[in-house]
Each structure stands twice: as structure tokens, then as C-alpha cells.
Structure 1
Amino acid sequence: MKVGIIGYGNIGEAMVSGLLNSKTVNPDEILASSRNEKKIRAALDKYHIGITRDNIKVTEFADVLIISVKPLGLASVLEQIKDHISDNTIVVSVVSSVEISEIESIIGDKKIVRVMLNTPVMVNEGMSALCMNQLVNFEEVDEIVALFKSFGKVELVEEKYMEIITAVSGTSPAYVFMMIEAMADGGVMMGLPRRKAYKLAAQSVRGAATMVLESELHPGALKDMVCSPGGSTIDGVYTLENNNFRGTLMKTIREATKKADRLKQKL
């Protein structure tokens, strides 16, 4: 399978790293495009993949064409490459806020997959949600899932959920970073060295998330396991509840979903 990437930025590089480290594809099976000279040199030196400034060359090369550009630049890219997309090419958009129907309005009846991913793909711990049009068959779905599993977890969804997923998965790393920072600040306030506070807070969040994913227990049950009667944890839980911790997070997801819906791009 030959993979083309239009828009070789940080996310593009993260995908290449995951694909190569997992041996899902070989370096000579990847061709990416970039206008950034530094990125071009790094792609050649670090990953030994094909790299070009020519989006059409990438389009004609690819069996799977991943488009990773800014939403405002998507229409011009699609107009540029639309006559060079084979009927067998799977076009994968990782561009936020753009629906499949909008892409179809420019490139026509082609195989299209829409993906919502988040920044932890940069450390091979991403969460990717995929939906596709009816031209993509089951075997091709499996191929795309395999590609995206090389840098994280994958979930197949209906497109109507994409804006909610943007809030729950796409934007939420920012909230988690804020929580880690605040936890570390609290540790520093009580006397911990800054570096140790960040490490302790970040690893605790990582470990807790792994427990949710691997144990398949309800998060509330896992929380109860930590809360000894009369202990410090239940005091901390009380403080969070008393300050509307869960309600604030739920409202945050609601507002982020509304904003994602308003940001839908008309190409």
C-alpha cells in the first residue's frame, strides 16, 4: 500500500513515525508534500521517505491519500488535485470541521474517509475516530483502521457524532494538560520540586487512563477503589464535587461541541 500525505506538518510527521515504527509500510511506500524546507530536510534525513512540493505527484502516487492541511486551505488543495484522484484511491481527510459531503462537492464520487484525531498521535497514543462514505468497502475500512492503529487507538463512528467527538477527544488533551499543570502547581505549593511534581501528576493521569481502558471497570468503581474511609482521597473528591468539577467538565464538552458545530466549513 502506497501512502501519500498532503500537508507534512507535525501531525503528518507523527503519522509517518507511527507507520514506520510499526512497520505498517516501508519508507519507499510513503510520499509526502510540504512547502517547509526544514520539514523536507528532516523527512529525508530522519525517515528517508519521499518528499516533494508537488501535491499532484503525491496524489498520483497514493493508494491512500491523507490530506492534513488547515481547513481554510482544503478547498484549494482539492481543486488542485481533483482531476488526478483515481477511482481506486482512498481519500482520507484529517481536516477538522469539514464533512464528507463538502469534500464530495469538489472531488465528486470518490472513496472518502473522514478522521478526527488528536495531538497524542505525536507520541503514538492518539485517538482517531473514523467515518466514511458508501464507496469505501469493508476491506478498505480494515486497511485504513490498520494505518491509524499504528499511532494510537481507533473507533469507527457515524459522521453525525463527529462534532461531539471533537469536544470529547479532539479538544480534551488541552483540558488534561491544564489539570496536570494545576495538580503540579498544587504539589509545588505544598513543597514538591517542580520537575518531580510534573512527573508525578502526568504519570498518575497516564496510569489512571490505562486502568480505565484495560480494566473495563466503570470509572466510578475505580474511583471508589482509591477512596479509603476517612482518607485524604475522599476529602479531595469532596472538594472537587463541592466546586462542581464534573458539572464544569460536562458544560465544557457541551460548549466545545456547539462551537465545533458552528465551525463546520462550507468549501
Structure 2
Amino acid sequence: MKVGIIGTGNMGTILTEALINGGAVSPSELIITNRTIGKAYKLQTSYEEITVAQRPDEVINEAKLIFICVKPLDIVKVIQENRKFFTGEKCLVSITSPIEVKWLEKSVASSCARVIPSITNRALSGVSLLTFGEGCKDPWRVILKEMFSKVSVPVEIDESIVRVASDIVSCGPAFYCYLTRKLIDAAVKETNIDEKTATILSESMLAGLGELLKKGYYSLPALQEKVCVKGGITGEGIDVLQRETGDMFEKLFRATHKKFAAEADVIEKAFFS
């Protein structure tokens, strides 16, 4: 089965590499394109059997399963310009959270779904979030779940929690990287450790933490309890975190949801104008 990818920017490239390296698709099954076509050809240098198309309509005509990996308003443009090519036997998949699957279903005859990947999928790990349209045919549901089980843990979610789930799964790595960078910066500022050493230690700690959780040795609460000896040094640090973080994460979710709602409103108007 031919699989099409329209858009080979950051997430389109990560998705392509993950699907190939996880054995979900072979390079010869892929047909890709990008507005700046050089980016598609650059990806082809790593996987020579990939087909590069010059235009989105070529991808849609050739492929049965089509992933659109461009910016939300650009998705609207791609769909509006190529609506007639999304026929009933195909499946259209968006990877962006502000576009509801029901909007896609109202726009094309194809089965429709949304898959929100995470950068962690590049390591064949983490979670991918799946939402299916009401009219999405069962074979496509099975195909997508099996495909993403090879690069992640696929989790089907309801439309009502798509933003918070995306914050945790897709945005989460960036949030944790920022917090880790702040930890490193503070260590360098307050002690004699150099930045390179602090970075190595922090990255190795995160990798080890991930392995502990992945192998099921501890849950998050159990792990904290094991490390945090009552009255010890770790406890002193936890006390500071409890005082200083306050409602920081509540504010984070409020901000992302506000931005999400504003984007969704603009995109919905563009879809149905």
C-alpha cells in the first residue's frame, strides 16, 4: 500500500523516519512532497527508494493513506485545492491538534483520522494519540493502530481531551527539556560544576529515569518515595519545589488551552468560509 506524506518539515521528517525505522512502512511504499521540494529530496538521500512528488495532488492520487504534516492553515489550503482527489477508498490523516476530525469529514469523501505524534516516536518510544472520525472505516482504524504500535504506544483519545493530551505527549518533551536546562543553569551558577559535566549528568539521569519507568521497576510516586528519604537532602529540595512551583503547571495548561482555542477558531472559519 502506498503511503503519502505531504510536508517534510520537522514533524513530517520525524514521522517518516520513525515509520521506516520501526518497520511500519518500507521506503518503497512512501511517496512524499514538500513546498520547499529540496527538503523532500534531502530525506530521499537517506532512503533512496522513497518517491518524491512535485505536488500534493500527485501524492494524493498515488497513495491510499495520506498524512498531511503542514501548518494548520496550510492544511486547509491543501484540502481545499485537492478536495476532489480525496476519494472514498482513501484515508486522510492530519497530525495537528487544532483541526477537529469532524471538520475533515465535512470537507472530503475519504475516511478521516488524526494522529498526534511525539518526537519520542523517533526513538520508537513514547505515545502517539489517535482520534478517528465517525465515518472512518474499520480497516483504516486497524491499519493505523498497527502502524503506530511499531513506533509508539498508540492511545485513542476523545476530542475533548486532545489539547491536554497533546501538552503531555507532544509538548511534554520540550517542557521537560526546558526544566532540565534551568536545573543545569542553576547548578553552574550556584556551584563549581561546569556546564558540560552538568549536562552529561542530567541527560544520563533522564535516560536512566526513563528506563526505570519503562521497565516497570517503579511508578512515579514510588520512585520519588524511594529517592526522597524523610528528613534528608532530597526532601529539602522537594520542599523548595513545592513552595516555588505553586500553580505553575495550572497556568501552563491555561495558556496552551487559550492559544489552542484561538487557533482552532481561526482554522474553523477558514475551513468553512
- Does TM, normalized by the shorter one, top 0.5? yes
1:83 counterpart = 2:84: yes
Contact 1:60 1:86 in 2 (8 A): no
5 Å-filtered alignment, 1:1-267, equals: 1-48=1-48, 49-107=50-108, 109-189=109-189, 190-215=191-216, 217-245=218-246, 247-264=247-264, 265-266=267-268, 267=271
SS in structure 1 of the partner of residue 24 of structure 2: coil
Structure 1 runs not aligned, ≥5 long: none
Aligned residues: 265
In 1, Cα distance between equivalents of 2:194 and 2:149: 37
Deviation at 1:242, TM superposition (A): 1.6
- Counterpart of 1:237, as a letter, is I
Deviation at 1:226, TM superposition (A): 0.5
SS in structure 1 of the partner of residue 83 of structure 2: helix
TM-score normalised by the chain length of structure 1? 0.90
Structure 2 runs not aligned, ≥5 long: none
Distance 1:92 1:216, change over 3 A: farther
SS in structure 2 of the partner of residue 243 of structure 1: helix
In 1, Cα distance between equivalents of 2:39 and 2:114: 25
Distance 1:244 1:15, change over 3 A: closer
- Counterpart of 2:23, as a letter, is K
- Counterpart of 1:260, as a letter, is F
Contact 1:125 1:151 in 2 (8 A): yes
Which range moves more in the overlay, 48-57 or 247-256?
247-256
TM-score normalised by the chain length of structure 2? 0.88
Deviation at 1:69, TM superposition (A): 0.8
Distance 1:13 1:244, change over 3 A: closer
Distance 1:31 1:138, change over 3 A: same
Output one character per residue of 1:209-253: Cα deviation in whole Å (capped at 9) or x when no partner. 4433442854222210101233211111111012135x3123312
Which range moves more in the overlay, 65-74 or 93-102?
93-102
Once superposed, what is the RMSD of the aligned Cα atoms?
2.1
Distance 1:191 1:153, change over 3 A: farther
In 1, Cα distance between equivalents of 2:204 and 2:124: 16
Deviation at 1:170, TM superposition (A): 2.7
- Counterpart of 1:117, as a letter, is P
Contact 1:163 1:261 in 2 (8 A): no
In 1, Cα distance between equivalents of 2:33 and 2:178: 34
Which range moves more in the overlay, 230-239 or 117-126?
117-126
Contact 1:5 1:33 in 2 (8 A): yes
Percent identity of equivalent pairs: 22
SS in structure 1 of the partner of residue 131 of structure 2: strand
Contact 2:105 2:111 in 1 (8 A): no
In 1, Cα distance between equivalents of 2:217 and 2:90: 37
In 2, Cα distance between equivalents of 1:23 and 1:168: 26
Distance 1:69 1:126, change over 3 A: farther
In 2, Cα distance between equivalents of 1:256 and 1:207: 29
In 2, Cα distance between equivalents of 1:35 and 1:228: 55
